Amino acid sequence: MNAIHTEMLYFQRRLNATRAMADAAAGPCARVAHETLARLYGETLVALAATLPCLMAEPVAAIPRRALRVERGVTPPTLRQMPARSRLTLKLAC
């Protein structure tokens, strides 16, 4: 459910931004394009908001936060030394 909630938040942000772009559109073609895109974002939000019996609702606070590990030292990137590989040759049976 958290993944669906994240997708819903993404589409809500895109919907708000697209509506703002439609309001600020310079011409009628751009306005129609942004309004169409906003309608599609709205339909996607409705589809994501549909409750399915197989989904379990989890609280948003249950999303684990990534902790920074302080014990790991930060070193500049270096090139790895690759061991020399033996070359394979094909011997012909002549």
Residue type, 28: P
> What is the per-residue pLDDT for 15?
92
- % the chain with pLDDT above 70: 53
Q: CA-based angle 32:36:40, to the nearest 5? A: 170
> What is the per-residue pLDDT for 82?
67
Where is average pLDDT lowest: 18-32, 42-56, 71-85?
71-85
Instruction: Report d(CA 25, CA 92) in Å as an integer.
Output: 71
Instruction: Report d(CA 16, CA 13) in Å as an integer.
Output: 5
Q: Please provide the average confidence, as pLDDT, over all residues in the chain.
A: 74
pLDDT band for position 89 (50/70/90)? low
> What is the per-residue pLDDT for 37?
93
